[in-house]
Amino acid sequence: MTDNRAESNGDRPARAKRLPRAVRERQILDAAVAVFSQRGYHAASMDEISEVAGISKPMIYAYLGAKEELFAACIQREATRLVEAIAGVVDESLPPREQLWRGIQGFFAFVADNRDSWRVLHRQAGTQGEPFAAELTAGRKRAISVIGLLLEHAAQAQGVGSFAEGQTEPLAAGLVGAGESLADWWLDHPEETPKAMSGRLMNLVWMGFGNLVQGTGWRPSQAEDAGLQRSDEVSA
């Protein structure tokens, strides 16, 4: 809100120093991520972004285009950073379980260091009708399918070929959701370490998955099964 630019030399805001384009672009993206993260896409205003970036609006438009494009640029940059953070710690030569463990650790480490990035990626996911929804959804789906593959490898490694087709993807979706939700919960419990968080998710995922791939999946007993009707048969 207040003018926190350095060198407020007496009178007026003092034209910002001339900086190379790359630097300014980074500044702008940083500010945009922060503001989008805090306010959400629609509530974020270009005015606030420009203020936070310490630069005037026209420069934002000149360098990164209109609001939508700016947002897309944020998404892309942060998604890339997240993917690289995880890819950087995963070693494909390791057995699947270890890969998963490292990946999960990488994820929580990234979230720990980049709360804003994470929020932008996570919290805007469903703003349907927006033109960039595709971008977000696509990223999410890519993540899910990568994890799905990992699960499939794990299943094969354990010699369980019977793992039903089409089962990995929804499970991966559940896993990603669990991770997101845990990361959210973490926001309210900052005293937890990344490793503790990672351990929780790994347990939830692996122990459940460990049983599933061994064919010991849970199934409702006959009594449990009879209890509920399909709701749409009633409501229709």
Partner DNA sequence: GATGAATGAGATTTCATTCAT
Partner DNA sequence: CATGAATGAAATCTCATTCAT
11 near a copy of itself (CB under 8 A): no
The pair of three-digit structure tokens given for residue 127, joined into one six-digit string: 């703003």
65: contact with a copy of itself by CB under 8 A? yes
Interface with a copy of itself in residues 174-193 (CB under 8 A)? 174-182, 184-185, 189, 192-193
**Contact region with a copy of itself (CB under 8 A), list: 10-18, 76-84, 153-161, 221-229:** 221-229
CA distance 114 to 112: 6
CB of 197 to DNA, least distance (A): 34
Q: Is 102 exposed, middle or buried (0-12, 13-18, 19+ CB in 10 A)?
A: middle
Write out the DSSP string of 46-58.
Answer: HHHHHHHHTS-HH
**Per CB under 8 A, which of residues 104..163 are in contact with a copy of itself?**
105-106, 109-110, 112-113, 119, 122-123, 125-130, 144
DSSP H/E element including 211: helix 208-213
Question: Could you give the CA distance from residue 233 to residue 6 in angstroms, rounded to a whole number?
Answer: 66
Task: Tell the smallest beta-carbon distance from residue 225 to a copy of itself (Å).
Answer: 8
Task: Read off the DSSP letter of residue 203.
Answer: I
> How many residues of this chain bind a copy of itself (CB under 8 A)?
85
Q: Pick between residue 161 and residue 164 the one whose CB is nearest to a copy of itself.
A: 164
Give the span between the Cα atoms of 152 and 213, in whole angstroms: 10
- Determine which residue in the list 14, 21, 26, 80 makes contact with a copy of itself, applying CB under 8 A: 21
